[in-house]
Amino acid sequence: MIALLHTGAAKFPQNLLPRARQAVCSLLRAGVLKGYSSIVSRKLASHGFGASMAAMSSFPPQRYHYFLVLDFEATCDKPQIHPQEIIEFPILKLNGRTMEIESTFHMYVQPVVHPQLTPFCTELTGIIQGMVDGQPSLQQVLERVDEWMAKEGLLDPSVKSIFVTCGDWDLKVMLPGQCQYLGLPVADYFKQWINLKKVFLEVAFTALHPFSRRLRQGKMDLRLPAASLHMHTPSAPAARLPW
């Protein structure tokens, strides 16, 4: 989490920065983030995360070469519309050894069933109509994702990579549901992922018991892209947490 915040804070969605900062400060106060270098602390401070914070000077060995952090935005309204459609498809490629961002993929997607974004959707996601008008379809974006994965060497059988999401919604519900609706196949690399909410609870439960309980109850939406990923083993779909 800290590595991504210090390397990507300039590109981090501005509406999420206050929540990210609050979460990092809570971890810092609890002593979870000890052992960080002063150099990266200054980088974090320059992005408003506080001069006392720093990024990890070393990381435990990882079972994956790369973590692919993914967080969809989709059409929505109140009450909810059906089907929802992905309108933003971002991926960060994190080096599993250094936790540095090595590459990014980002495309907006034009919705076809509900082509007009609702005011509720724009307010929630920050995405306006002009951002999706004329953009590629989901099928075209998935083809671009596959091309990007190949270009980055992520399809090489000797390279171990896994997607990381905040919850199971992105890859358990949203992508397979829309692909089923459109009659599109789902690539195998989208069928296994790390649920960051579960990782966060495993890492922080002892030190931040009240904080973790609030996250488990769904009262906090951190949407943080990376945490101590080496501590979590992805489970089979049926065993994943139901959130």
Q: Evaluate if residue 208 carries a pLDDT over 60.
A: no
Provide the b/e sequence for 110-126 (b: ≥16 CB within 10 Å).
bbeebeebeeebeeebe
Share of the chain above pLDDT 90, in %: 53
Q: Which two tokens stand for residue 133?
A: 């008008």
Pair 111, 141: CB distance under 8 Å: no
Pair 127, 30: CB distance under 8 Å: no
CA dihedral 133, 139, 141, 144 (to 10 degrees): -140
209-216 vs 196-204: helix crossing angle, rounded to 10 = 160
Q: Evaluate if residue 242 carries a pLDDT over 50.
A: no
- Please report the pLDDT score of residue 104 as a whole number: 97
Residue with tokens 């206050």: 18
Q: Evaluate if residue 147 carries a pLDDT over 90.
A: yes
Query: Nearest CA to 240 among 179, 183, 173?
Result: 173
The identity of residue 223, as a single letter, is R
175-182 vs 138-151: helix crossing angle, rounded to 10 = 120
Read off the pLDDT band of 60 (50, 70, 90).
Answer: confident
Q: Please state the length of the chain.
A: 243
pLDDT tens digits for range 1-58: 444 444 444 444 555 555 555 555 554 444 444 443 343 344 455 545 443 344 444 5
DSSP states along 30-82: TTTT-SB-HHHHHHHHHTTS-TT---BS-----S-SEEEEE--EE---SSPPS
Q: Evaluate if residue 59 carries a pLDDT over 90.
A: no
Taking the domain 60-191, which CATH number applies?
A: 3.30.420.10
pLDDT tens digits for range 78-95: 999 999 999 999 999 999
Query: Nearest CA to 227 among 4, 61, 44?
Result: 4
Domain spans in the chain, listed from the N-terminal domain onward: 1-58+200-227, 60-191
Selected residue with higher pLDDT from 170 and 220 = 170
Residue with tokens 């989709």: 74
What's the CA gap between 113 and 110, in Å, rounded?
10
